[in-house]
Structure 1
Amino acid sequence: MTRSLLLCAHGPQSTRGRAALAGLVNAVRREAHDLDVMDAYVDLQEPSIVSTVEATSGPRALVPLMLAYDRSVSVDIVRASHLDPSVTVTPPLGPDWVLAEVGVRRLFEAGARSNDTIVLAADTTTDERALADVAKAARLLSAVWGGRVHVGALGGPDTALVEAVDVARAYGHRVVVSSYLLTAGTAHDAMRECGADVVTDPLLDNNPPDQRLVSLVMARARGEGANTNDLTKASWN
């Protein structure tokens, strides 16, 4: 029986973002010779995760292509997985060391220097779990970069990105924003307007996806996931 791999993401808002995400899905498809790889979405783009689960059968690993916890997305994924007990939900992509490594690559590509002040910028954070995930992402980036990393977000209870950039100015060096985003879109556009000297590209750009991202998706797909039989497991464990 063919096993399926369902890659579930937010629908990118921009053409560039959609192309970048499609590049990742296609790269995973080339890597996963023994899996039937399909993309599905929780918003903005079709097919929906529910319709994809309904249209497939057999063992399916559902990998959330998310960088941090999002309760509304988590609930959508849980509901979709309840449609068939053969669907296993894996942990999401982030936070993870691989994302930190790719984030540092983006910093170097953007021309970041060792004496720059780095601010990891996240999209809107929704709750304490999201805050914890973004904070962990910043710690991992700091460890790989080898210097302190501040945190800012476009919305939610975390420090506003504009404020985080203002605080970073107090160190007297250039401020470089590390975009903790999977693809380009309105969130990345907003990060470019935050007042930083440099803003990095998202983890996925117009180039072929970093092989480490492909390997991370495959690791999630082949690892032990959480079979979400109740809403208490909506945190993706």
Structure 2
Amino acid sequence: MNPEQFQAALTKHQVTLTDHQLAQFAEYYQQLVETNKHVNLTAITGEQDVYLKHFYDSLTGAFIFPQLREPLSLCDIGAGAGFPSLPLKIAFPQLRVTIVDSLNKRINFLQELVAKLGLDDVTLIHARAEEFANAKSDHREQFDVVTARAVANLTVLSELCLPAARVGGYFLAYKGRSGQEELTAAKGAITKLGGQLEQNAELTLPGGDDDRQLIVIKKVKATPKRYPRRPGIPAKKPLK
């Protein structure tokens, strides 16, 4: 998917990018590839692959969950090189974005990137996900929507992400082919954490057989204060 195909594919989903926004995506690509030479950000570096598997894939959330086109507060847990939150921010500038990542090198890259792209209302936080929205945190249950992409399985992700979503807010998980299997395994954990499945949408990226699942979980009640557990425990002892 080249930049022109990227723009055309988005138009089919009522996402129209200005020349300025397209230039921001082009700059994003250049900065990603340049920084990736000395900081491990992504294994995907070809322009067509980045536009399809990072930029377009990140924006599929707005196809399934159109509230992302509104002026919401969005928290991206374990954003890595900024996916999905920064492509969403470029396409929908009204979003107020908070990015959380445990690796300072990635946060430094994102700080430079946000400055180069001229993005406002983006907050970058260096923290472990387990500590970001724990019972003592000011960030707990503060966000309209929490996103995560390619971070961990859904059971673990739910424990890391749902505590940050406000009651009445949402957790949006970007998943691949294993999404349905992970969802089945995570149902008990989602309920314990105050969540309720609202939608599990399947889609295929253009021009291939890359299957994706976008899982939308609504936060219907407050997360018990004991969650998330301390760093490392959610992955070692997943909830049931």
Q: TM-score, normalised by structure 1?
A: 0.32
Higher strand share: 2
